[in-house]
Structure 1
């Protein structure tokens, strides 16, 4: 048995009782000494150039695809209409909803798993795809007027694309309100706190998004904007 003087002990609260427990001791430092401060270390990990390039890429992903899609809609309307007619309104709404949902989901995963750049890259790609669809569909608050001017009787497909994007955005807004409400209402020690876990939040998010899509596809909105 080791001598009492060699034992390293500490007083802790275990199951509501004060007890003396053994803790490991390190006679030699396991972390090398350094003159760097915490601020220096964090500054070294920040990679400002990388973030600046990424911010510029996201900005391009927002502007360029929308501009290109809108240019196609205005300048190559007949060619674009011929290809869009391959979709049903429900199919186009599902496609635009899926593209938008993918971009939003990648952003959420990038926030949760912030150590990996792959999610940020996938978010930028998904954002570019969503913006292209929005440009082709001439997305704006009163999109049904502009789509009718450009596409005429074929505006139904473009309107469906806009409704898919709007449904995904509306689903995000509803999820944000519910999730913040859960954080405020549910106590930390409550069993219901499991609803605020990342996996439960993602399930709730996708459930709300699916409900928003079903409302668009089967709630009569596609017929309303086509009227």
Structure 2
């Protein structure tokens, strides 16, 4: 191989390492600067992936939030139950202003707010708004449950404490129970849709997030109507 051929080969091999390119402008060959590699947009860091995830987790905030949830479960129920036992006459005088259906609707509504906040907090996991809504709704639901002495055999407790006005407390409990059964029925239907409907099926639209929320509120409304007009308010 001649010396000129070797120099030509060396130039061709070294060409990718150059940051310059040639361009013909007006019949003349000019050199144009070309960036070989773009400037990196992510700075170098000594942090590992575990360190980054640990910083994003905010354990102090989550600890405070869990504590707030526990307080929302315990304190309002205790306060409502205390009022029911110690201020029964005063409580009955205020509850008598409502119809049993109205009390059932009120308790169903506060429970629905708590459940909606929980669902939205799961879907919108990057924002704290719905987590706060869940805590507030949970506290309201627990307070109402304490006032109505909610437990498995609540009709015995409400009769002992409220006497002839026990139907008002029973209606309040039925509203909470209706919301609970509604979310249970929704969970069963939702899981069934995910299992039975194929991805390429036109019915797959029922598994979208907006469709799932419509289904949730529809089932909850049916549960409320069953309690209000199904004869349950007079059965307990």
TM bucket, shorter chain: 0.7 to 0.9
- Counterpart CA distance in 2 for 1:36 and 1:193 is 42
| Correspondence for 1:184 | 195
| Correspondence for 2:72 | 61
| Correspondence for 2:84 | 73
Structure of larger gyration radius: 2
Deviations 1:162-199 (CA, angstroms, capped at 9, x unpaired): 00000000000000000011111112222222111111
Unaligned runs of 5+ in 2: 1-15, 17-35
TM-score, normalisation: structure 1 = 0.87
Cα drift, residue 29 of structure 1: 1.8
TM-score, normalisation: structure 2 = 0.83
Q: Does 1:216 find its partner at 2:209?
A: no
Go from structure 1 to structure 2 and tell me whether the alpha carbon gap of 1:105 and 1:26 turns closer, same or farther (over 3 Å shift): farther
| Correspondence for 2:59 | 48
- Secondary structure at the counterpart of residue 224 of structure 1: coil
Deviations 1:81-139 (CA, angstroms, capped at 9, x unpaired): 00000110000000000000000001001110011111101100100000000000000
> After the TM superposition, which parts of structure 1 deviate over 6 Å for at least 4 consecutive aligned residues?
none
